[in-house]
Chains A and B, each alone.
Chain A
């Protein structure tokens, strides 16, 4: 099956000299959750800006559903209709006077009527649990609230692919859990998700595909459970393996987990695995 998006040989140099992307290749499988991991300055944000046409590569190409993307006005509009982007800093994308007004911006740009736009706004706010903030001015929100408002603005456009730059950075535990749930619902509804993160544990529990970045290129890409247990690849991207993966590995070497046990993605998965192996624990 052709990937939904196919990036090949992407090279980009910022005016002023830094080569941010250096012949980058990436496949974005349809309907999955792709985590992009890598150290600061590896080029993750720069890549996302290319994936909706905000930046234009010096060389290389991006294919969406097999069709090569071009940069004419109409082409860009269609592209952005299909691929949504949430920037790292929510202040960069909230500009209307109130949260609800801001969220309505995208749907109206899609040419939707007022009623439909209103409906989309209500749904997006509900999905991110911020319906109660609808009338709040955007400059009177906390960091996490702004972040959720920004994400609501993107999902109200119902893109096929939603890209999020460090969605959980700076969110408290509950905020992050709520966001994860909302993203999971989008994913269940068929949206392809791409997000960058520095939190390996978050990627481990949530992503089903991962790509490791280093120096403007992808050093490895594959199913999250395989890639994130590959210590060599992780070390190259200056990352430590996820806690649950490490724990499962250690328990396996001591015979406390079945050798063929599936990698536990959550603490609950882990408890189930332990219970299978030691009935004593299950009984307690």
Chain B
């Protein structure tokens, strides 16, 4: 099971209204991209604080998820800050300022996306899109795929362990062959699963619509007010600082 999904289900803000979480994250994302880099710094700190202090996302996972994108960012920054020409390597004019802005905006954007991913399960997000008018066929399909992903993921993990137990990973060559076998096996398994799932759905009275009682918390006035205040404050700082 993916650690991101686990965190999304277990964090303290799991039950916070979807509308509030998305408004906060997407609102801050827009501010970070539209305003001066100073605002982006504020956005990154606000999002990190919300995730780590508010939702109590594990810091290890939070920074772990940032590591890979930050690596790419570092490479990009170097090429912005430096200039290579006939005289050799030197600092690009204005390169530092540009690189700084890029770092601030990217990190801010990253924290917004991570915040959403680590506090809100994918199934909630898809359900939300459904309420916004995405056709129910697509929503149902996406939710089933979400569920399927874990079942197939579990089978793949189990098959991998079974292969390892029978020395399927003994050499690099075997490892590649074993991985190929898993890939070849997952498709028929998926089809078989799908068939049995169809039987189960029909047995439970399915009539072409996937209705369940979702315990949604509606957005609260106080929550929306707090989020709007945060957004406004950061916007003011970004505009006038």
User: What residues make up the interface of A, taking CB atoms closer than 8 Å to B?
Assistant: 49, 52, 54, 76-77, 80-81, 84-85, 87, 89, 91-98, 100-102, 104-106, 108-110, 114, 117-118, 121, 135-140, 153-154, 157
Q: Given contacts A95-B147, A139-B1, are A54 and B202 in contact (CB under 8 A)? A: yes
Among B55-63, B165-173, B191-199, the stretch that binds chain A is B191-199
Q: Say whether B197 contacts A92, CB under 8 Å.
A: yes
Write out the residue numbers on chain A whose beta carbons fall within 8 Å of the beta carbon of B84. Answer: none
Q: Given contacts A87-B196, A105-B210, A105-B212, are A93 and B6 in contact (CB under 8 A)? A: no
Write out the residue numbers on chain A whose beta carbons fall within 8 Å of the beta carbon of B196. Answer: 87, 89, 92
Query: Whole-angstrom distance between the alpha carbons of A106 and B211 in the complex?
Result: 9
Q: Is B203 an interface position by the 8 A CB rule?
A: yes
B131 to chain A, nearest CB (A): 14
Q: Say whether B193 contacts A92, CB under 8 Å.
A: yes
Q: Is B215 an interface position by the 8 A CB rule?
A: yes
Q: Given contacts A100-B215, A105-B212, are A93 and B150 in contact (CB under 8 A)? A: no
Q: Given contacts A81-B205, A97-B124, A139-B150, are A108 and B213 in contact (CB under 8 A)? A: yes
Q: Say whether A106 contacts B205, CB under 8 Å.
A: yes
Contacts of B111-150 to chain A: CB distance below 8 A = 121, 123-124, 127, 143-144, 146-147, 150
User: What residues make up the interface of B, taking CB atoms closer than 8 Å to A?
Assistant: 1, 5-6, 9, 121, 123-124, 127, 143-144, 146-147, 150-151, 154, 193, 196-197, 199-207, 210-215
Write out the residue numbers on chain A whose beta carbons fall within 8 Å of the beta carbon of B205. Answer: 77, 80-81, 106, 109-110, 157
Query: Whole-angstrom distance between the alpha carbons of A114 and B124 in the complex?
Result: 19
Q: Of all chain B residues, which has the CB nearest A77?
A: B205
Q: Say whether A101 contacts B150, CB under 8 Å.
A: no
Set A85, A100, A117: member contacting B203, Cβ < 8 A: A85
Q: Of all chain A residues, which has the CB nearest B194?
A: A92
Q: Say whether B204 contacts A104, CB under 8 Å.
A: no
Set B124, B193, B204: member contacting A153, Cβ < 8 A: B204
In the complex, the number of residue pairs spanning A and B with C-beta atoms less than 8 Å apart equals 102
Q: Of all chain A residues, which has the CB nearest B202?
A: A54
Query: Whole-angstrom distance between the alpha carbons of A105 and B197 in the complex?
Result: 14
Query: Whole-angstrom distance between the alpha carbons of A96 and B146 in the complex?
Result: 9
Q: Say whether B9 contacts A137, CB under 8 Å.
A: yes
B16 to chain A, nearest CB (A): 14
Besides the contacts A93-B204, A97-B146, A100-B213, what 8 more A-B pairs have beta carbons closer than 8 Å? A77-B207, A91-B151, A96-B210, A97-B214, A101-B214, A105-B210, A139-B147, A139-B150
Q: Say whether A54 contacts B203, CB under 8 Å.
A: yes
B192 to chain A, nearest CB (A): 10
Query: Whole-angstrom distance between the alpha carbons of A84 and B210 in the complex?
Result: 18
A49 to chain B, nearest CB (A): 7
B202 to chain A, nearest CB (A): 6
Q: Say whether A95 contacts B144, CB under 8 Å.
A: yes
Query: Whole-angstrom distance between the alpha carbons of A114 and B215 in the complex?
Result: 11
From A49, A101, A135, A157, residue with most partner B Cβ within 10 Å? A101
Write out the residue numbers on chain B whose beta carbons fall within 8 Å of the beta carbon of A135. Answer: 215
Q: Of all chain B residues, which has the CB nearest A54?
A: B199
14 A-B residue contacts at CB 8 Å? A77-B205, A77-B207, A87-B196, A93-B203, A100-B215, A101-B213, A108-B211, A108-B212, A109-B205, A117-B213, A137-B5, A139-B147, A139-B154, A157-B205
Query: Whole-angstrom distance between the alpha carbons of A165 and B147 in the complex?
Result: 22
B207 to chain A, nearest CB (A): 6
